[in-house]
Amino acid sequence: MNAYQLEVLRYPIDAAARERLVERARKLVWIGLAWHCVEAGVALAAGLVASSIALVAFGADSLIELLAGGIVLWRFGAIRSGSDAAEHTGHRLISVSFFAVAAYVLATSLDDLIGAHHPASSWVGIALALLALTTMPPLSLAKRRVADRLASATARGESRQTMLCAYLALALLVGLAGNALLGLWWLDPAAAIVIAAVAAREGAHAWRGEGCCAALPLSAGGTHAHTGH
Protein backbone atom coordinates (compact mmCIF):
# COMPACT_ATOMS: atom_id res chain seq x y z
CA MET A 1 0.00 0.00 0.00
CA ASN A 2 1.44 3.38 -0.97
CA ALA A 3 1.05 6.85 0.53
CA TYR A 4 -1.77 7.84 -1.80
CA GLN A 5 -3.82 4.75 -0.94
CA LEU A 6 -3.32 5.50 2.76
CA GLU A 7 -4.49 9.08 2.18
CA VAL A 8 -7.72 7.90 0.55
CA LEU A 9 -8.40 5.33 3.25
CA ARG A 10 -7.72 7.83 6.02
CA TYR A 11 -9.95 10.58 4.58
CA PRO A 12 -12.74 8.98 2.52
CA ILE A 13 -14.98 11.29 0.49
CA ASP A 14 -18.73 11.15 0.09
CA ALA A 15 -20.63 11.29 -3.21
CA ALA A 16 -21.21 15.06 -3.08
CA ALA A 17 -17.57 15.84 -2.33
CA ARG A 18 -16.45 13.46 -5.06
CA GLU A 19 -18.71 15.15 -7.61
CA ARG A 20 -17.22 18.54 -6.72
CA LEU A 21 -13.71 17.13 -7.18
CA VAL A 22 -14.64 15.55 -10.51
CA GLU A 23 -16.03 18.89 -11.70
CA ARG A 24 -12.84 20.64 -10.60
CA ALA A 25 -10.79 18.04 -12.47
CA ARG A 26 -12.82 18.74 -15.61
CA LYS A 27 -12.29 22.50 -15.30
CA LEU A 28 -8.54 22.11 -14.84
CA VAL A 29 -8.34 19.86 -17.88
CA TRP A 30 -10.29 22.40 -19.97
CA ILE A 31 -7.83 25.12 -18.91
CA GLY A 32 -4.97 22.91 -20.02
CA LEU A 33 -6.68 22.09 -23.31
CA ALA A 34 -7.20 25.77 -24.10
CA TRP A 35 -3.53 26.52 -23.41
CA HIS A 36 -2.28 23.58 -25.47
CA CYS A 37 -4.41 24.66 -28.44
CA VAL A 38 -2.67 28.05 -28.39
CA GLU A 39 0.71 26.49 -27.64
CA ALA A 40 0.50 24.00 -30.50
CA GLY A 41 -0.52 26.63 -33.04
CA VAL A 42 2.19 29.12 -32.03
CA ALA A 43 4.94 26.49 -31.74
CA LEU A 44 4.17 24.85 -35.08
CA ALA A 45 3.92 28.17 -36.91
CA ALA A 46 7.10 29.57 -35.32
CA GLY A 47 8.90 26.27 -35.95
CA LEU A 48 8.08 26.34 -39.65
CA VAL A 49 9.17 29.97 -39.95
CA ALA A 50 12.50 29.37 -38.13
CA SER A 51 13.02 25.83 -39.51
CA SER A 52 13.32 24.71 -35.89
CA ILE A 53 12.76 20.99 -35.33
CA ALA A 54 12.62 21.62 -31.58
CA LEU A 55 9.71 24.04 -31.93
CA VAL A 56 7.87 21.69 -34.28
CA ALA A 57 8.43 18.84 -31.80
CA PHE A 58 7.18 21.05 -28.98
CA GLY A 59 4.04 21.81 -30.97
CA ALA A 60 3.55 18.11 -31.68
CA ASP A 61 3.89 17.40 -27.96
CA SER A 62 1.12 19.91 -27.31
CA LEU A 63 -1.13 18.00 -29.70
CA ILE A 64 -0.41 14.78 -27.79
CA GLU A 65 -1.22 16.57 -24.55
CA LEU A 66 -4.54 17.58 -26.08
CA LEU A 67 -5.19 13.86 -26.52
CA ALA A 68 -4.25 13.20 -22.89
CA GLY A 69 -6.62 15.91 -21.70
CA GLY A 70 -9.40 14.50 -23.87
CA ILE A 71 -8.86 11.07 -22.32
CA VAL A 72 -9.29 12.50 -18.82
CA LEU A 73 -12.49 14.31 -19.85
CA TRP A 74 -13.78 11.02 -21.24
CA ARG A 75 -12.68 9.26 -18.05
CA PHE A 76 -14.71 11.66 -15.91
CA GLY A 77 -17.84 11.44 -18.06
CA ALA A 78 -21.17 11.18 -16.29
CA ILE A 79 -21.33 7.38 -16.70
CA ARG A 80 -17.64 6.63 -16.28
CA SER A 81 -16.69 8.86 -13.32
CA GLY A 82 -16.90 5.90 -10.93
CA SER A 83 -15.90 3.15 -13.34
CA ASP A 84 -12.82 1.06 -12.60
CA ALA A 85 -12.73 -0.21 -16.20
CA ALA A 86 -12.66 3.36 -17.55
CA GLU A 87 -9.98 4.25 -15.00
CA HIS A 88 -7.77 1.38 -16.17
CA THR A 89 -8.28 2.13 -19.87
CA GLY A 90 -7.64 5.84 -19.45
CA HIS A 91 -4.57 5.11 -17.35
CA ARG A 92 -3.01 2.99 -20.11
CA LEU A 93 -3.87 5.51 -22.83
CA ILE A 94 -2.13 8.26 -20.85
CA SER A 95 0.93 6.01 -20.60
CA VAL A 96 0.93 5.44 -24.37
CA SER A 97 0.83 9.21 -24.90
CA PHE A 98 4.01 9.55 -22.79
CA PHE A 99 5.79 6.99 -24.96
CA ALA A 100 4.58 8.77 -28.11
CA VAL A 101 6.07 12.05 -26.86
CA ALA A 102 9.38 10.32 -26.05
CA ALA A 103 9.61 8.60 -29.43
CA TYR A 104 8.81 11.71 -31.43
CA VAL A 105 11.16 14.01 -29.51
CA LEU A 106 14.01 11.48 -29.70
CA ALA A 107 13.57 10.95 -33.44
CA THR A 108 13.49 14.65 -34.26
CA SER A 109 16.44 15.38 -31.98
CA LEU A 110 18.63 12.72 -33.56
CA ASP A 111 17.66 13.97 -37.01
CA ASP A 112 18.70 17.47 -35.94
CA LEU A 113 22.07 16.31 -34.60
CA ILE A 114 22.95 14.00 -37.48
CA GLY A 115 21.91 16.53 -40.09
CA ALA A 116 23.71 19.37 -38.27
CA HIS A 117 20.60 21.47 -38.80
CA HIS A 118 21.05 25.12 -37.78
CA PRO A 119 17.65 26.69 -37.14
CA ALA A 120 17.07 30.43 -37.29
CA SER A 121 16.59 32.40 -34.08
CA SER A 122 13.01 32.45 -32.80
CA TRP A 123 12.18 35.06 -30.18
CA VAL A 124 8.53 34.05 -30.43
CA GLY A 125 9.57 30.53 -29.46
CA ILE A 126 11.64 31.81 -26.55
CA ALA A 127 8.67 33.84 -25.26
CA LEU A 128 6.40 30.79 -25.61
CA ALA A 129 8.84 28.62 -23.65
CA LEU A 130 9.06 31.20 -20.86
CA LEU A 131 5.26 31.44 -20.66
CA ALA A 132 4.92 27.65 -20.48
CA LEU A 133 7.54 27.50 -17.73
CA THR A 134 5.56 29.92 -15.57
CA THR A 135 2.09 28.46 -16.14
CA MET A 136 2.46 24.67 -16.43
CA PRO A 137 3.97 23.81 -12.99
CA PRO A 138 1.15 25.42 -10.94
CA LEU A 139 -1.48 23.91 -13.25
CA SER A 140 0.13 20.48 -12.88
CA LEU A 141 0.19 20.84 -9.08
CA ALA A 142 -3.50 21.77 -8.99
CA LYS A 143 -4.37 18.75 -11.17
CA ARG A 144 -2.28 16.42 -9.03
CA ARG A 145 -3.94 17.51 -5.79
CA VAL A 146 -7.38 16.76 -7.22
CA ALA A 147 -6.18 13.46 -8.70
CA ASP A 148 -4.72 12.33 -5.38
CA ARG A 149 -7.95 13.13 -3.55
CA LEU A 150 -9.95 11.20 -6.15
CA ALA A 151 -7.44 8.31 -6.10
CA SER A 152 -7.38 8.58 -9.90
CA ALA A 153 -4.32 7.22 -11.68
CA THR A 154 -5.61 8.61 -14.98
CA ALA A 155 -5.95 12.17 -13.69
CA ARG A 156 -2.60 11.94 -11.92
CA GLY A 157 -0.98 10.69 -15.13
CA GLU A 158 -2.43 13.68 -16.98
CA SER A 159 -1.00 16.00 -14.33
CA ARG A 160 2.40 14.46 -15.04
CA GLN A 161 1.83 15.12 -18.71
CA THR A 162 1.29 18.79 -17.87
CA MET A 163 4.54 18.88 -15.89
CA LEU A 164 6.30 17.21 -18.80
CA CYS A 165 5.27 20.23 -20.87
CA ALA A 166 7.27 22.41 -18.46
CA TYR A 167 10.32 20.12 -18.82
CA LEU A 168 10.05 20.33 -22.58
CA ALA A 169 9.66 24.10 -22.35
CA LEU A 170 12.88 24.30 -20.34
CA ALA A 171 14.71 22.21 -22.94
CA LEU A 172 13.22 24.36 -25.68
CA LEU A 173 14.30 27.55 -23.90
CA VAL A 174 17.87 26.31 -23.45
CA GLY A 175 18.06 25.26 -27.08
CA LEU A 176 16.49 28.38 -28.59
CA ALA A 177 18.32 30.82 -26.31
CA GLY A 178 21.64 29.02 -26.82
CA ASN A 179 21.16 29.18 -30.58
CA ALA A 180 19.97 32.80 -30.62
CA LEU A 181 22.48 34.24 -28.16
CA LEU A 182 25.54 31.99 -28.46
CA GLY A 183 25.16 30.19 -31.77
CA LEU A 184 25.15 26.80 -30.01
CA TRP A 185 22.69 25.07 -32.35
CA TRP A 186 23.36 21.61 -30.85
CA LEU A 187 21.99 22.58 -27.43
CA ASP A 188 18.46 22.26 -28.72
CA PRO A 189 18.55 18.56 -29.77
CA ALA A 190 20.85 17.62 -26.88
CA ALA A 191 18.43 19.00 -24.28
CA ALA A 192 15.47 17.45 -26.08
CA ILE A 193 17.06 13.98 -25.86
CA VAL A 194 17.20 14.35 -22.07
CA ILE A 195 13.51 15.25 -22.05
CA ALA A 196 12.72 12.22 -24.22
CA ALA A 197 14.29 10.03 -21.52
CA VAL A 198 12.17 11.77 -18.87
CA ALA A 199 9.03 11.17 -20.94
CA ALA A 200 9.86 7.48 -21.34
CA ARG A 201 10.39 7.15 -17.57
CA GLU A 202 7.07 8.86 -16.85
CA GLY A 203 5.35 6.57 -19.33
CA ALA A 204 6.78 3.49 -17.60
CA HIS A 205 5.61 4.76 -14.18
CA ALA A 206 2.14 5.54 -15.51
CA TRP A 207 1.86 2.09 -17.15
CA ARG A 208 2.69 0.34 -13.86
CA GLY A 209 0.54 2.72 -11.81
CA GLU A 210 3.41 3.67 -9.52
CA GLY A 211 2.88 6.55 -7.11
CA CYS A 212 -0.89 6.59 -7.56
CA CYS A 213 -3.97 4.64 -6.51
CA ALA A 214 -4.44 2.72 -9.75
CA ALA A 215 -5.61 -0.38 -7.90
CA LEU A 216 -8.28 1.33 -5.85
CA PRO A 217 -11.92 1.22 -7.01
CA LEU A 218 -13.52 4.63 -7.28
CA SER A 219 -16.77 4.25 -5.38
CA ALA A 220 -19.09 7.19 -5.04
CA GLY A 221 -19.21 6.84 -1.31
CA GLY A 222 -15.47 6.71 -0.86
CA THR A 223 -15.38 3.05 0.33
CA HIS A 224 -12.38 1.14 -0.96
CA ALA A 225 -12.37 -2.58 -0.48
CA HIS A 226 -9.05 -3.24 -2.21
CA THR A 227 -6.02 -1.97 -0.32
CA GLY A 228 -3.08 -3.29 -2.28
CA HIS A 229 -1.75 -3.70 -5.81
CA-to-CA distance for 73 and 80, rounded, in angstroms? 10
Separation of alpha carbons 218 and 82, rounded Å:
5
CA distance 27 to 7: 23
**Tens-digit pLDDT profile for residues 12-36:** 666 777 778 878 878 888 888 899 8
pLDDT digits (tens, 9 = 90+) for 102-145: 898 898 889 889 988 888 899 999 999 999 999 999 998 988 88
CB 170 within 8 A of CB 134: no
Alpha carbon 111 to its chain's center: 24
Specify if 204 maps to a domain: yes
Range of the domain at 67: 15-208
**For 166-208, how does the pLDDT look when each residue is reduced to its tens digit (9 = 90+)?**
888 998 899 899 999 999 988 888 877 877 887 788 778 767 7
* Residues 6+ positions from 183 with CB-CB distance below 8 Å: none
> Which spans in the chain are helix H?
3-10, 15-50, 53-75, 84-114, 123-150, 153-177, 187-208
Q: How many CB atoms lie within 10 A of CB 5?
A: 20
Domain contains 132: yes
- Indicate which CATH number applies to the domain containing 177: 1.20.1510
The total of structural domains in the chain comes to 1
Residue 22 lies in a domain: yes
Whole-model pTM over 0.75: no
Cβ neighbours, 10 Å, residue 31: 16
